[in-house]
Amino acid sequence: MSFTRKKPHVHLDVRLKGNPSYEETHKICSTIEDEVRSIVPNARIGIRSGPSGILHPRDIWSLIKSIAEEESGSRGAHNIHFQNIGGRLGVDFHLEVSAGMTVEQAHEVSKRIEKKLKEANLGISEVVIHEESVSELISSERSGHGTEIRWYVEHVVKRFPDLKLTRPPTIRQIGNRFHVILKVAFMPGTKMERATEITSSLDAAIKHGYPAVSRVDITLAPAH
């Protein structure tokens, strides 16, 4: 269990006996989720499951989560499940995308993730991804605080190990759009050509994953 400024997060690992179908797996996990929610009503609940006979399930879960969450356009993955299908792996999970994305854009993100998963682990034969939208504008963002966008921007920045934020992002609302201001520092010795390439990729990742952001300004600070 972990906590953020918004709400508690409950994470569960479930090992399933036998070889239940996806439908049976979802039914079991939905029952568990309902039980947990009755105890912690406002929690965000993530459940990951796998058959009890598979070795090192955490390695598989970690692979799925890292690939799904690092892909441009993804807002996160949860309820990750996998099972044996004729000696190979079937993968099933929920993928969060921005509510402002089109169905076609969300499907493209899923296709890229599926391709990378199969390339990373040749034992994965089937990937089922359930795209779901994340609320585009929560009330605090409408009032100018930008808590969800700030969390998302900080999450995206972590994908770029060559830089770090020197202060929290500034979020400004312009009508129904948002302006993100970042101040970042690069690793010592980073060339400007490389810095420009990284900041361009960061700009694109933020706008792609959160279409309500129309402008991103990134200021470079001296490395320490």
Question: Do 23 and 122 reside in the same domain of the chain?
Answer: yes
The pLDDT value recorded for residue 51 is: 60
Percent over 70 (pLDDT), the chain: 79
Q: What is the pLDDT of residues 26-55, one digit of tens each?
A: 778 778 888 888 888 777 777 766 665 544
Partners of 213 in beta bridges: 178
Question: Do 107 and 165 reside in the same domain of the chain?
Answer: no
Q: How confident is residue 143, by pLDDT bands cut at 50, 70 and 90? A: very low
3-state secondary structure the chain: CEECCCCEEEEEEEEECCCCCHHHHHHHHHHHHHHHHHHCCCCEEEEEEEECCCCCHHHHHHHHHHHHHHCCCCCEEEEEEEEEECCEEEEEEEEEEECCCCHHHHHHHHHHHHHHHHHHCCCEEEEEEEEEEECCCCHHHHCCCCHHHHHHHHHHHCCCCCEEECCCCEEEEECCEEEEEEEEEECCCCCHHHHHHHHHHHHHHHHHHCCCEEEEEEEEECCC
Mean local confidence (pLDDT), 191-200: 89
Question: Do 90 and 143 reside in the same domain of the chain?
Answer: no
Domain boundary residue among 134, 165, 200?
Answer: 134
The CATH number given to whatever domain includes residue 154 is 3.30.70.1350
Q: What is the pLDDT of residues 87-130, one digit of tens each?
A: 778 888 888 887 777 888 888 999 999 999 988 887 888 898 98
Question: Do 34 and 82 reside in the same domain of the chain?
Answer: yes
Q: Tell me how many domains the chain contains.
A: 2
**Domain that residue 80 falls in:** 2-134
Mean local confidence (pLDDT), 178-188: 89
